[in-house]
Amino acid sequence: MQLTKYTDYALRVLMYLAMQDKPDTKVQIKTISEKFGIPKNHLIKVVHHLGKENMIKTIRGKNGGIILSKAPSDIVVGQVVRKFEITLKPVNCEQPECHIQQICLLKPALFKAMEAFLTTLDQYTLADITKNQQCLRQCLLSQNTTELSES
Amino acid sequence: MQLTKYTDYALRVLMYLAMQDKPDTKVQIKTISEKFGIPKNHLIKVVHHLGKENMIKTIRGKNGGIILSKAPSDIVVGQVVRKFEITLKPVNCEQPECHIQQICLLKPALFKAMEAFLTTLDQYTLADITKNQQCLRQCLLSQNTTELSES
Protein backbone atom coordinates (compact mmCIF):
# COMPACT_ATOMS: atom_id res chain seq x y z
CA MET A 1 0.00 0.00 0.00
CA GLN A 2 1.58 3.19 -1.15
CA LEU A 3 0.59 6.71 -2.12
CA THR A 4 0.50 7.25 -5.87
CA LYS A 5 3.42 8.94 -7.61
CA TYR A 6 0.97 11.73 -8.40
CA THR A 7 0.49 12.60 -4.71
CA ASP A 8 4.18 12.08 -4.00
CA TYR A 9 5.08 14.57 -6.75
CA ALA A 10 2.50 17.09 -5.51
CA LEU A 11 4.07 16.96 -2.06
CA ARG A 12 7.58 17.33 -3.49
CA VAL A 13 6.52 20.40 -5.52
CA LEU A 14 4.95 22.01 -2.46
CA MET A 15 8.01 21.24 -0.33
CA TYR A 16 10.31 22.67 -2.97
CA LEU A 17 8.34 25.91 -3.08
CA ALA A 18 8.15 26.11 0.72
CA MET A 19 11.88 25.66 1.16
CA GLN A 20 12.70 28.75 -0.90
CA ASP A 21 14.58 31.45 0.95
CA LYS A 22 11.99 34.08 -0.03
CA PRO A 23 8.32 33.10 -0.32
CA ASP A 24 7.90 35.04 -3.58
CA THR A 25 10.72 33.24 -5.38
CA LYS A 26 9.30 32.06 -8.67
CA VAL A 27 10.35 28.54 -9.54
CA GLN A 28 10.42 26.91 -12.95
CA ILE A 29 8.79 23.50 -13.36
CA LYS A 30 11.96 22.49 -15.22
CA THR A 31 14.03 23.14 -12.09
CA ILE A 32 11.83 20.95 -9.89
CA SER A 33 11.89 18.30 -12.61
CA GLU A 34 15.69 18.29 -12.56
CA LYS A 35 16.01 18.45 -8.77
CA PHE A 36 13.78 15.47 -8.17
CA GLY A 37 14.34 13.56 -11.40
CA ILE A 38 10.63 13.72 -12.22
CA PRO A 39 9.60 13.83 -15.91
CA LYS A 40 8.50 17.38 -16.73
CA ASN A 41 5.25 16.27 -18.39
CA HIS A 42 4.20 14.51 -15.15
CA LEU A 43 4.96 17.65 -13.18
CA ILE A 44 2.93 19.84 -15.53
CA LYS A 45 -0.20 17.83 -14.67
CA VAL A 46 0.57 17.97 -10.95
CA VAL A 47 1.24 21.72 -11.06
CA HIS A 48 -2.00 22.31 -12.96
CA HIS A 49 -3.90 20.36 -10.29
CA LEU A 50 -2.12 22.23 -7.46
CA GLY A 51 -3.23 25.46 -9.13
CA LYS A 52 -6.84 24.29 -9.32
CA GLU A 53 -6.70 23.44 -5.62
CA ASN A 54 -5.46 26.99 -4.98
CA MET A 55 -2.27 25.75 -3.35
CA ILE A 56 0.07 27.39 -5.87
CA LYS A 57 -0.20 30.09 -8.51
CA THR A 58 1.54 30.64 -11.79
CA ILE A 59 3.19 33.98 -12.49
CA ARG A 60 3.42 34.40 -16.23
CA GLY A 61 6.07 36.31 -18.18
CA LYS A 62 9.78 36.19 -18.83
CA ASN A 63 10.77 35.77 -15.19
CA GLY A 64 7.65 33.84 -14.34
CA GLY A 65 7.26 30.59 -12.51
CA ILE A 66 5.20 29.05 -9.75
CA ILE A 67 4.88 30.15 -6.11
CA LEU A 68 2.76 29.02 -3.17
CA SER A 69 -0.56 30.80 -3.11
CA LYS A 70 -0.84 30.58 0.67
CA ALA A 71 1.44 30.31 3.68
CA PRO A 72 3.03 26.86 4.22
CA SER A 73 1.33 26.81 7.63
CA ASP A 74 -2.02 26.91 5.83
CA ILE A 75 -1.37 23.86 3.65
CA VAL A 76 -2.21 20.64 5.50
CA VAL A 77 -0.49 17.43 4.38
CA GLY A 78 -3.63 15.33 4.97
CA GLN A 79 -5.61 17.65 2.72
CA VAL A 80 -3.07 17.34 -0.08
CA VAL A 81 -3.29 13.55 0.16
CA ARG A 82 -7.12 13.70 0.12
CA LYS A 83 -7.09 15.93 -2.97
CA PHE A 84 -4.49 13.99 -4.96
CA GLU A 85 -5.10 10.30 -4.28
CA ILE A 86 -7.22 8.69 -6.98
CA THR A 87 -8.95 6.59 -4.36
CA LEU A 88 -8.96 6.44 -0.58
CA LYS A 89 -11.18 3.38 -0.47
CA PRO A 90 -8.87 0.88 1.24
CA VAL A 91 -10.27 -1.99 -0.85
CA ASN A 92 -12.28 -2.26 -4.04
CA CYS A 93 -15.40 -4.23 -3.14
CA GLU A 94 -16.81 -3.85 -6.65
CA GLN A 95 -14.03 -5.44 -8.64
CA PRO A 96 -14.45 -8.39 -8.34
CA GLU A 97 -17.87 -7.69 -6.87
CA CYS A 98 -18.01 -8.84 -3.27
CA HIS A 99 -21.43 -10.24 -2.35
CA ILE A 100 -21.02 -9.61 1.36
CA GLN A 101 -20.22 -5.91 1.03
CA GLN A 102 -23.57 -4.78 2.49
CA ILE A 103 -22.93 -6.58 5.77
CA CYS A 104 -19.15 -6.78 5.74
CA LEU A 105 -17.46 -5.85 9.01
CA LEU A 106 -14.00 -5.72 7.48
CA LYS A 107 -14.95 -2.71 5.38
CA PRO A 108 -15.72 -0.35 8.32
CA ALA A 109 -12.52 -1.51 10.06
CA LEU A 110 -10.50 -0.66 6.95
CA PHE A 111 -12.21 2.72 6.59
CA LYS A 112 -11.47 3.48 10.23
CA ALA A 113 -7.82 2.63 9.59
CA MET A 114 -7.72 4.90 6.53
CA GLU A 115 -9.24 7.68 8.59
CA ALA A 116 -6.48 7.18 11.19
CA PHE A 117 -3.91 7.46 8.38
CA LEU A 118 -5.38 10.74 7.13
CA THR A 119 -6.02 12.18 10.58
CA THR A 120 -2.37 11.64 11.42
CA LEU A 121 -1.37 13.59 8.31
CA ASP A 122 -3.82 16.35 9.22
CA GLN A 123 -1.51 17.10 12.14
CA TYR A 124 1.23 18.28 9.77
CA THR A 125 1.35 21.42 7.67
CA LEU A 126 3.76 22.18 4.87
CA ALA A 127 5.51 24.52 7.33
CA ASP A 128 6.09 21.62 9.74
CA ILE A 129 7.67 19.39 7.14
CA THR A 130 9.91 22.15 5.80
CA LYS A 131 10.96 23.67 9.10
CA ASN A 132 14.49 22.45 8.32
CA GLN A 133 14.28 24.80 5.31
CA GLN A 134 17.95 25.73 5.39
CA CYS A 135 19.12 22.09 5.51
CA LEU A 136 16.79 21.23 2.65
CA ARG A 137 18.13 24.12 0.58
CA GLN A 138 21.72 23.14 1.27
CA CYS A 139 20.93 19.56 0.41
CA LEU A 140 19.53 20.52 -2.99
CA LEU A 141 21.97 23.40 -3.49
CA SER A 142 24.73 20.90 -4.18
CA GLN A 143 22.80 20.13 -7.34
CA ASN A 144 23.43 23.67 -8.60
CA THR A 145 20.40 25.67 -9.66
CA THR A 146 19.65 29.35 -9.36
CA GLU A 147 16.36 29.20 -7.46
CA LEU A 148 17.99 27.75 -4.39
CA SER A 149 20.91 30.17 -4.13
CA GLU A 150 21.11 31.99 -0.82
CA SER A 151 20.48 35.72 -1.13
CA MET B 1 -4.05 4.43 -1.91
CA GLN B 2 -5.49 0.99 -1.68
CA LEU B 3 -4.55 -2.44 -0.38
CA THR B 4 -3.40 -4.80 -3.11
CA LYS B 5 -5.80 -7.37 -4.50
CA TYR B 6 -3.47 -9.96 -3.01
CA THR B 7 -4.18 -8.79 0.56
CA ASP B 8 -7.85 -8.28 -0.22
CA TYR B 9 -8.10 -11.90 -1.44
CA ALA B 10 -6.23 -13.21 1.60
CA LEU B 11 -8.72 -11.48 3.87
CA ARG B 12 -11.68 -12.82 1.88
CA VAL B 13 -10.33 -16.39 2.11
CA LEU B 14 -9.85 -16.07 5.86
CA MET B 15 -13.33 -14.60 6.30
CA TYR B 16 -14.86 -17.36 4.22
CA LEU B 17 -13.22 -20.01 6.36
CA ALA B 18 -14.18 -18.23 9.58
CA MET B 19 -17.83 -17.95 8.61
CA GLN B 20 -18.25 -21.71 8.27
CA ASP B 21 -20.79 -23.25 10.58
CA LYS B 22 -18.28 -25.77 11.90
CA PRO B 23 -14.61 -24.78 12.25
CA ASP B 24 -13.41 -28.07 10.73
CA THR B 25 -15.43 -27.66 7.53
CA LYS B 26 -12.99 -28.22 4.70
CA VAL B 27 -13.45 -25.72 1.89
CA GLN B 28 -12.38 -26.08 -1.72
CA ILE B 29 -10.44 -23.23 -3.32
CA LYS B 30 -12.83 -23.57 -6.27
CA THR B 31 -15.78 -22.71 -4.00
CA ILE B 32 -14.14 -19.53 -2.71
CA SER B 33 -13.17 -18.65 -6.27
CA GLU B 34 -16.82 -18.94 -7.34
CA LYS B 35 -18.25 -17.17 -4.30
CA PHE B 36 -16.05 -14.12 -4.68
CA GLY B 37 -15.48 -14.18 -8.43
CA ILE B 38 -11.72 -14.42 -7.93
CA PRO B 39 -9.69 -16.32 -10.54
CA LYS B 40 -8.66 -19.66 -9.07
CA ASN B 41 -5.01 -19.30 -10.03
CA HIS B 42 -4.81 -16.06 -8.01
CA LEU B 43 -6.37 -17.81 -5.03
CA ILE B 44 -3.91 -20.71 -5.22
CA LYS B 45 -1.02 -18.28 -4.64
CA VAL B 46 -2.86 -16.58 -1.78
CA VAL B 47 -3.78 -19.90 -0.15
CA HIS B 48 -0.18 -21.10 -0.44
CA HIS B 49 1.00 -17.92 1.29
CA LEU B 50 -1.67 -18.22 4.01
CA GLY B 51 -0.39 -21.74 4.63
CA LYS B 52 3.20 -20.55 4.93
CA GLU B 53 2.05 -17.94 7.46
CA ASN B 54 0.40 -20.74 9.43
CA MET B 55 -3.02 -19.14 9.18
CA ILE B 56 -4.64 -21.99 7.27
CA LYS B 57 -3.83 -25.63 6.60
CA THR B 58 -4.58 -27.93 3.72
CA ILE B 59 -6.21 -31.28 4.36
CA ARG B 60 -5.38 -33.59 1.48
CA GLY B 61 -7.48 -36.43 0.12
CA LYS B 62 -10.83 -36.97 -1.57
CA ASN B 63 -12.80 -34.82 0.88
CA GLY B 64 -9.91 -32.49 1.48
CA GLY B 65 -9.80 -28.73 1.43
CA ILE B 66 -8.54 -25.84 3.49
CA ILE B 67 -9.38 -24.90 7.07
CA LEU B 68 -8.16 -22.25 9.50
CA SER B 69 -5.15 -23.47 11.43
CA LYS B 70 -5.97 -21.35 14.47
CA ALA B 71 -9.00 -19.77 16.09
CA PRO B 72 -10.38 -16.68 14.32
CA SER B 73 -9.76 -14.75 17.54
CA ASP B 74 -6.04 -15.47 17.11
CA ILE B 75 -5.78 -14.02 13.62
CA VAL B 76 -5.26 -10.25 13.71
CA VAL B 77 -6.30 -8.23 10.66
CA GLY B 78 -3.32 -5.86 11.00
CA GLN B 79 -0.96 -8.83 10.94
CA VAL B 80 -2.53 -10.20 7.77
CA VAL B 81 -2.07 -6.82 6.09
CA ARG B 82 1.56 -6.64 7.25
CA LYS B 83 2.27 -10.13 5.89
CA PHE B 84 0.53 -9.71 2.54
CA GLU B 85 1.21 -6.16 1.39
CA ILE B 86 4.16 -5.96 -1.01
CA THR B 87 5.21 -2.69 0.55
CA LEU B 88 4.11 -0.64 3.51
CA LYS B 89 6.46 2.23 2.73
CA PRO B 90 3.97 5.05 2.15
CA VAL B 91 6.14 6.55 -0.60
CA ASN B 92 9.02 5.33 -2.73
CA CYS B 93 11.89 7.73 -2.09
CA GLU B 94 14.23 5.74 -4.31
CA GLN B 95 12.29 5.86 -7.56
CA PRO B 96 12.85 8.57 -8.69
CA GLU B 97 15.61 8.99 -6.14
CA CYS B 98 14.80 11.83 -3.77
CA HIS B 99 17.89 13.77 -2.76
CA ILE B 100 16.37 15.10 0.46
CA GLN B 101 15.38 11.69 1.84
CA GLN B 102 18.06 11.75 4.58
CA ILE B 103 16.65 14.92 6.13
CA CYS B 104 13.05 14.74 4.90
CA LEU B 105 10.42 15.49 7.53
CA LEU B 106 7.56 14.31 5.33
CA LYS B 107 8.83 10.74 5.46
CA PRO B 108 8.50 10.27 9.25
CA ALA B 109 5.05 11.88 9.13
CA LEU B 110 3.96 9.40 6.46
CA PHE B 111 5.42 6.47 8.38
CA LYS B 112 3.58 7.61 11.51
CA ALA B 113 0.36 7.71 9.47
CA MET B 114 0.98 4.21 8.12
CA GLU B 115 1.59 3.00 11.65
CA ALA B 116 -1.75 4.53 12.69
CA PHE B 117 -3.41 2.64 9.83
CA LEU B 118 -1.91 -0.68 10.92
CA THR B 119 -2.42 -0.10 14.63
CA THR B 120 -6.12 0.48 13.97
CA LEU B 121 -6.32 -2.86 12.15
CA ASP B 122 -4.47 -4.54 15.02
CA GLN B 123 -7.59 -3.90 17.07
CA TYR B 124 -9.59 -6.34 14.95
CA THR B 125 -9.35 -10.11 14.82
CA LEU B 126 -10.88 -12.39 12.24
CA ALA B 127 -13.46 -13.28 14.90
CA ASP B 128 -14.48 -9.62 15.21
CA ILE B 129 -15.04 -9.16 11.50
CA THR B 130 -17.02 -12.39 11.17
CA LYS B 131 -19.12 -12.12 14.30
CA ASN B 132 -22.14 -11.75 12.02
CA GLN B 133 -21.26 -15.26 10.83
CA GLN B 134 -24.85 -16.33 10.29
CA CYS B 135 -25.71 -13.26 8.19
CA LEU B 136 -22.57 -13.78 6.14
CA ARG B 137 -23.47 -17.41 5.55
CA GLN B 138 -27.02 -16.54 4.54
CA CYS B 139 -25.73 -13.84 2.23
CA LEU B 140 -23.47 -16.29 0.40
CA LEU B 141 -25.89 -19.22 0.74
CA SER B 142 -28.08 -17.66 -1.92
CA GLN B 143 -25.26 -18.47 -4.28
CA ASN B 144 -25.79 -22.17 -3.67
CA THR B 145 -22.78 -24.19 -2.61
CA THR B 146 -22.45 -27.13 -0.26
CA GLU B 147 -19.83 -25.73 2.13
CA LEU B 148 -22.18 -23.05 3.38
CA SER B 149 -25.24 -25.21 4.02
CA GLU B 150 -26.53 -25.09 7.56
CA SER B 151 -26.12 -28.36 9.40
**Does the distance separating the beta carbons of B110 and A3 come in below 8 Å?**
yes
**Residue-number span of the structural domain to which A52 is assigned:** 5-86+126-144
- Where b means 16+ CB within 10 Å and e means fewer, B23-33 reads eebbbbbebbb
Minimal CA separation from A44 to chain B, in Å: 16
ipTM of this complex prediction, to 2 decimal places = 0.90
* Domain-embedded: residue A35: yes
* Domain-embedded: residue A63: yes
Minimal CA separation from A58 to chain B, in Å: 24
Q: How many domains does chain A have?
A: 1
* Domain-embedded: residue A103: no
**Does the distance separating the beta carbons of A3 and B4 come in below 8 Å?**
no
User: For residue B148, which amino acid is it?
Assistant: L
How does DSSP classify residue A56?
Answer: E
C-alpha distances out from residue B108 to A1, A124, A149, B89, Å: 16, 11, 27, 11
- pLDDT tens, position by position, for chain A (151 residues)? 999 999 999 999 999 999 998 888 999 999 999 999 999 999 999 999 999 999 999 999 888 999 999 999 999 999 999 999 999 999 999 988 888 999 999 999 999 999 999 999 999 999 999 999 999 988 886 665 434 333 3
Q: Which residues contact A87 (CB under 8 A, 6 or more apart)?
A: B1, B2
| Chain B: residue whose CA lies nearest to A139 | B100
| Chain A: residue whose CA lies nearest to B119 | A113
**What residues in B contact A40, CB-CB < 8 Å?**
none
- The CA distance from B60 to B128, in Å, is 29
- The CA distance from A115 to B119, in Å, is 12
- The CA distance from B116 to B129, in Å, is 19
In this complex, is the C-beta atom of A127 within 8 Å of any C-beta atom belonging to chain B? Answer: no
* Domain-embedded: residue B72: yes
* Domain-embedded: residue B150: no
In this complex, is the C-beta atom of A17 within 8 Å of any C-beta atom belonging to chain B? Answer: no
- The CA distance from A100 to A121, in Å, is 31
- The CA distance from A105 to B14, in Å, is 13
The SS3 call for residue B91 is coil
* Domain-embedded: residue B146: no
Distance of CA A65 to the CA centre of its chain: 17
**What residues in B contact A38, CB-CB < 8 Å?**
96
Whole-structure pTM value: 0.90
| Chain B: residue whose CA lies nearest to A93 | B8
Q: Which residues contact B32 (CB under 8 A, 6 or more apart)?
A: B12, B13, B16, B38, B43
What residue spans of B53-95 are helical by DSSP H?
A: 77-84
Q: Is the peptide bond before B108 cis (omega within 30 degrees of 0)?
A: no
Nearest to A99 among B96, B124, B140 (CB): B140
Do A16 and A32 touch, CB atoms closer than 8 A?
Answer: yes
Q: CATH code at A74?
A: 1.10.10.10
Residue B116: other Cβ atoms inside 10 A: 18
**What residues in B contact A1, CB-CB < 8 Å?**
1-4, 7, 81, 85, 87-88, 90, 114, 117
- pLDDT tens, position by position, for chain B (151 residues)? 999 999 999 999 999 999 998 888 999 999 999 999 999 999 999 999 999 999 999 999 888 999 999 999 999 999 999 999 999 999 999 988 888 999 999 999 999 999 999 999 999 999 999 999 999 988 886 765 434 333 3
- The CA distance from B141 to B138, in Å, is 5
- The CA distance from A58 to A69, in Å, is 9
* Domain-embedded: residue A17: yes
Do A33 and A40 touch, CB atoms closer than 8 A?
Answer: yes
**Does the distance separating the beta carbons of A113 and B36 come in below 8 Å?**
no
* Domain-embedded: residue A137: yes
